[in-house]
Amino acid sequence: MKSVFLCEQADNIGKVYAQSTVSLLEAEASLDTRVYTKRDVTETPERFKETEYIFSSWGMPVLTADEITEYFPQLKCVFYAAGSVQSFARPFLERGIKVFSAWAANAVPVAEYTAAQIILANKGFFKTAQKMSGGDVPAAREAFEHYIGNYGAKVGIIGAGMIGKLVIQALKNHRLEILVFDPFLPDKTAGELGVKKCGLDELFRNCSVVSNHLANNEQTKGMLDYGLFSSMPPYSVFINTGRGAQVVESDLAKALENRPDLTAVLDVTDPEPPVSHSPFYSLENCILTPHIAGSSGSEVHRMAEYISDEFLRFKKGLPCRYEVTLKMLDTMA
């Protein structure tokens, strides 16, 4: 077998890889269309001795460097039709095996979703909708008076990676002042994006909406704490479509309790979903969604298309666009 599907959740492969993409990979990559799990690999290792390419998506199993050497001695590349590769990529990369991710494809719907939430937040949608839907018309109208709208509003973007940049670009037609916290963002790139770089303290103190897109690593865990949330301007909104681990969630809950004017829109938490006794379920100014910002429905086919195109570029010796390196793991989500 020259290429295999490797995934702990076979349904995800069927969901992400459209039949047209599977047929293309059958022809171009000699793909075995059965979906194999790590258990299949360990129980029948002889099947995989000649495998050169792994195709996967959500549910890619974690393999140690020794397991990779033992079970996939001829492996050249892993093509991952999903976003973050943090959970599995490092041992492959350390062995010189290339890893390609559809992070750019998955970034598109996240950015679309986030930009939409930012525009709604500056209009006071979340607070006023809650009051109005509960029948309290005077409270809805009173709350609306506290929101400045989108003309000239300051929006904070934490992390200007692929998703952060796409959010900024999606907002470019709105008259917004965008502040960015990202130590890795070159000044020249900030100028090209039309944003102002600043520290986290300044960003939280000045922005009516703050959106988290930090990379998911040990250095960023717990970066967003009570001091930052409590310093936000009146009637501001915190949006998290990145990762829950960057937030000290007890601090966020405390800030929301002490500042009922604030609103949190959380598409991600740590863990997901929140534990049963989490205060997020009872706080009126906390809006939870079940990790819907990423690719869903037919959007997931975009990821497999990006990956199949990347494979063809690799096969033809053309420059690839979505290769992940060890250095990139330090800053990627």
Helix (H) / strand (E) element for 209: namely strand 209-212
Query: Which strand ranges, in their side-by-side order, compose the sheet holding 53-56?
Result: 31-36, 3-6, 53-56, 77-80, 98-101, 323-324
Q: The domain containing residue 74 runs over which residues?
A: 3-105+297-330
Give the pLDDT confidence score for residue 269 in this predicted structure.
Answer: 97
Give the pLDDT confidence score for residue 62 in this predicted structure.
Answer: 97
Question: Does residue 277 sit in the same domain as residue 130?
Answer: yes
Summarize pLDDT for 30-67 with one digit per residue, the tens. 999 999 999 999 999 999 999 999 999 999 999 999 99
Nearest to 81 by CA among 104, 51, 64, 98: 104
Give the pLDDT confidence score for residue 191 in this predicted structure.
Answer: 97
Question: Does residue 85 sit in the same domain as residue 135?
Answer: no
Whether residue 289 is predicted with pLDDT greater than 90 in this model: the reply is yes
State mean pLDDT over 175-185: 96
More confident residue, 59 or 161: 59
Give the pLDDT confidence score for residue 1 in this predicted structure.
Answer: 62
State mean pLDDT over 64-86: 96
Nearest to 153 by CA among 261, 233, 260, 263: 233
The whole-model pTM stands at 0.81
- Give dist(CA 228, CA 222) in Å, integer: 11
Contacts of 330 (CB under 8 A, 6+ apart): 215, 217
State mean pLDDT over 74-96: 95
| Number of structural domains found in the chain | 2
Whether residue 130 is predicted with pLDDT greater than 80 in this model: the reply is yes
Which one of 288, 305, 320 terminates a domain? 288
Question: Does residue 269 sit in the same domain as residue 314?
Answer: no
State mean pLDDT over 10-20: 96
Question: Quick one: pLDDT band at residue 172, thresholds 50, 70, 90?
Answer: very high
Question: Does residue 183 sit in the same domain as residue 284?
Answer: yes
Give the pLDDT confidence score for residue 139 in this predicted structure.
Answer: 95
Average pLDDT of the chain?
96
Question: Does residue 56 sit in the same domain as residue 140?
Answer: no
Question: Does residue 232 sit in the same domain as residue 242?
Answer: yes
Summarize pLDDT for 189-246 with one digit per residue, the tens. 999 999 999 999 999 999 999 999 998 888 899 999 999 999 999 999 999 999 999 9
Question: Does residue 86 sit in the same domain as residue 12?
Answer: yes
State mean pLDDT over 302-308: 96
Question: Does residue 140 sit in the same domain as residue 269?
Answer: yes
In total, the chain counts a number of residues equal to: 333
- Enter the tokens of residue 239: 């949006």
Whether residue 330 is predicted with pLDDT greater than 90 in this model: the reply is no
Question: Does residue 43 sit in the same domain as residue 144?
Answer: no
Give the pLDDT confidence score for residue 189 in this predicted structure.
Answer: 97
CATH code where residue 42 lies:
3.40.50.720
- Give dist(CA 85, CA 221) in Å, integer: 17
Question: Does residue 84 sit in the same domain as residue 121?
Answer: no
Question: Does residue 152 sit in the same domain as residue 203?
Answer: yes
Question: Does residue 260 sit in the same domain as residue 123?
Answer: yes
State mean pLDDT over 79-96: 94
Whether residue 332 is predicted with pLDDT greater than 80 in this model: the reply is no
